[in-house]
Structure 1
Amino acid sequence: MTALTQNLPPVVRNLGISIIGQECYTSLVENLDFSNVECIKYSLSKGVGLGIVVGGSIVKVPQIILVLKSHSAEGLSLGSYILETLSYCINLLYSFKNGFPFSTYGENFFLTFQNALITQLIVFFSPNAQEKIILVAGGLAVFVSTLSSLSTEILSYLQIATLPLSLFAKIPQITQNYRSKSTGQLSAFAVIAQILGCVARLFTTMQEVGDPVVLTGFALALMLNGVLGAQLWMYWGAQPKKVEEKAPEAAKGEVMTEVNGKVQAYDQPPRPQTPPRPHAPSFRTGTPPPSGGRKWSRKLD
């Protein structure tokens, strides 16, 4: 068997070495020696990391398709996606400038663009879309260009800021789901994939980077994505809860009328009281009343 693994095509050999290194490739692939526990952990971490990067390139695609197909972004929190996009941008540039392996942060590259697109779709399907799209797109562009010009030291402080940023990014979506008792157009595939991705990222970060700030960020993201997953399970198939508007009650002195399907109240002036009718004469004396009833005459000179 080793005769085959030691004579693999150069393309396969070079790819394997570039991923797990010369030492681990020789030990695990060429010699089939699985006693090196460190190489096994490292190779597993690399494999999981590359899988996350590939998965991250499509994880938000179902959400995008769902919004485009329904022509609605109901249930999606604009604030959540804006904050989440900013967090992805910071993490991406921080990892890139620190020279971390691409397998430990590559999904952030794809998630940043996918989140930015979903943010624009949420704005597009909202009132006054044209003005908001320009505002949001311009704001994101300025933010990214500003981050690119910052030093590594400043980015490290911003990376710490992604911890509360990740918290605030999920809370609006969680709150919106709780109030409406529904997850609307929120993609179950995207939420489940993010939960699994956070678990995998905790493992790869511990094996390859060991940065406590990054580890804390992934742990926090896992907890909040777990809450979203629980809401998906609780509110599965539920329609958004809408508060029914009660018709206004008429106050004293008001008249309720329906105009164009809307009930409106109008002031009504008090009705004048009718004077009491004069007492009719009694004819119990036995004298019959004049024929034709009482008549009034006017003397003409």
Structure 2
Amino acid sequence: MTAITKNLPWFIRDLGISIVGEECYKSLVENLNVGDVKCLKYSLSKGLGIGIVLGGSIMKVPQILLITNARSAHGLSLPAYVLETLSYAITLAYSFRHDFPFSTYGENLFLTLQNTFITLLIIYYAPSRQLTGSGKTQKLVVATTLTCAMAFALHSVPIETLALLQMTTLPLSLFSKLPQIRQNLRSQSTGQLSAFAVISQIAGCLARLFTTATEVGDALVSAGFALALFLNIILGAQLWMYWGQGADLKDEIELKQRDSHVDDKPVNDVPVWQSQASSSTIYSPTATRLSSAPPTHRVATPPAAGGRKWARKVD
């Protein structure tokens, strides 16, 4: 069997070495040494890391589709997404500038981009009463400008300052989830919150704890993933508790929004029979003249009291 594994095509060999390294490739693939625990853990960590990066590239796509299809961001907290995006961006910059393997932080790149887009969608689809002052377009321009400024700042700050910012991801992770958790509790609904995104984040945090401990060993990064895991589990529990309770609330809110745009006009208290009669009456000059003319025929009248009965032929 080893005669086959040692003579695999060059592109397979190069791919394996690029993922797990030459030492572990020779041990696990060429020599089939399944008892090499160190290389097994390292290879498992690499495999999980690559899977997380690929999953992170589409993790928030269902959330984006939910918002765009419903044309509503009902149930999503804007402060929560702003803080979560900032936390992802700091971790991305910290890992990139410390030259960590891309498989240990790559999903943060995709999550930062997707979260930024979701934040802009929340601003765009927010009810008009929540956007006082300038219009939605100006709000989007300001948000985009602040996002670009934040990206430039994270790329330019000294590495020591970036380490301090990485420490702030712990409270950022906490405060980024608390507004969403509180909003879910108050409305007893999760609105347009994507179950796929929440479940994927729970699985991703579990895997990231393993990959960080195996390949990086950075306590700051591990603590951030541990806290994020705890908060995502709470969101997952809320999804289970409030499942199916968002549709009625959404319809009620949309009905109130439509009613708020209707002009308040005074309505006269007109009896139903009078309104029906007036609506069924059609004006006609001929009919008016005929109705005002005296009748040309006699109508039978009841007999007088004690008199004889009589009748006259109607002309």
Secondary structure of the 1:182 match is coil
Report matched runs for 1:12-23 at 5 Å.
12-23=12-23
Deviation, structure 1 residue 3: 1.6
> Corresponding residue for 1:116?
116
* 2:187 aligned partner: 180
Q: Which residue does 2:177 correspond to in 1?
A: 170
2:201 to 171, 175, 194: 194
> What is the TM-score with the length of structure 2 in the denominator?
0.76
Aligned to 2:87: 87
SS of residue paired to 2:190 = coil
Which of the two has greater helix per residue? 2
Aligned to 1:65: 65
Deviation string 1:223-269 (CA, Å, 9 cap, x unpaired) is 000000000000000033879x9xxxxxxxxxxxxx5379xxxxxxx
Whether 1:55 aligns to 2:55 is yes
Aligned to 2:100: 100
For structure 1, which segment, 149-158 or 185-194, has the greater mean C-alpha deviation from structure 2 after superposition?
149-158
Match of 1:233 in 2: 240
Question: Which of 133, 155, 160 lines up with 2:162 in the alignment?
Answer: 155
Residue number among 202, 212, 215 corresponding to 2:222 in the alignment: 215
For residues 278-297 of structure 1, what are the structure 2 equivalents within 5 Å? none
Query: Aligned to 1:146, what secondary structure does the other structure show?
Result: helix
Task: Give distance in 2, aligned partners of 1:151 and 1:7.
Answer: 48
**CA 1:261–1:66: 2 relative to 1, 3 Å:** farther
Distance in 2 (alpha carbons) for counterparts of 1:232 and 1:131: 34
Q: Distance in 2 between matches of 1:260 and 1:104?
A: 62
SS for the counterpart of 2:182 is helix
Deviations 1:168-200 (A, max 9, x none): 101111111110000000000000000000000
Give the structure 1 partner of residue 151 of structure 2.
144
Q: Within 2, Cα distance between the matches of 1:92 and 1:67?
A: 26
Q: Is 1:131 aligned to residue 135 of structure 2?
A: no
In 2, distance between residues paired with 1:261 and 1:30? Answer: 87
Post-superposition offset of 1:138: 1.1
Per-residue CA distance 1:33-57 (angstroms, 9 max, x = gap): 1111000000000000000000000
Structure 1: runs of 5 or more not aligned? 246-258, 263-301
Aligned Cα RMSD in Å?
1.9
CA distance in 2, matches of 1:260, 1:17: 76
Which residue of structure 2 lines up, in the alignment, with residue 271 of structure 1?
A: none
Partner Cα distance (1:121, 1:134) in 2 = 12
Question: What displacement does 1:147 show?
Answer: 1.0
User: What is the number of equivalent residue pairs in this alignment?
Assistant: 250
Using the TM superposition, give the Cα deviation of residue 74 of structure 1 relative to its aligned residue in structure 2, in angstroms: 0.5
For residues 124-166 of structure 1, what are the alpha-carbon distances to aligned partners after superposition, in whole Å with 9 as ceiling and x for unaligned?
A: 1122421211121111111111111012111000000110011
Gaps of 5+ in 2: 129-134, 257-263, 268-315
What is the rounded CA distance, in whole Å, between the counterparts of 2:96 and 2:148 in structure 1? 18
28-37 vs 233-242, greater mean Cα deviation: 233-242
Distance in 1 between residues matched to 2:136 and 2:195, nearest whole Å: 26
Question: What are the within-5 Å matches in structure 2 for residues 24-35 of structure 1?
Answer: 24-35=24-35
Task: Write out the 4+ residue segments of structure 1 that deviate beyond 6 Å after TM superposition.
Answer: none
Percent identity, aligned pairs only, is 60
- CA–CA distance in 2 between the matches of 1:6 and 1:100? 30
Match of 1:10 in 2: 10
Equivalent residue number for residue 299 of structure 2: none
Equivalent residue number for residue 213 of structure 2: 206
- Give me the TM-score of the superposition, normalised by structure 1: 0.80
**Could you tell me which residue of structure 2 aligns to residue 291 of structure 1?**
none
1:260 aligns with 2:265: yes
Q: Would you say 1:41 and 2:48 are equivalent positions?
A: no
Going from structure 1 to structure 2, the CA distance change for 1:94 and 1:74 (only over 3 Å counts) comes to same
**2-side partners of 1:147 and 1:209: how far apart?**
21
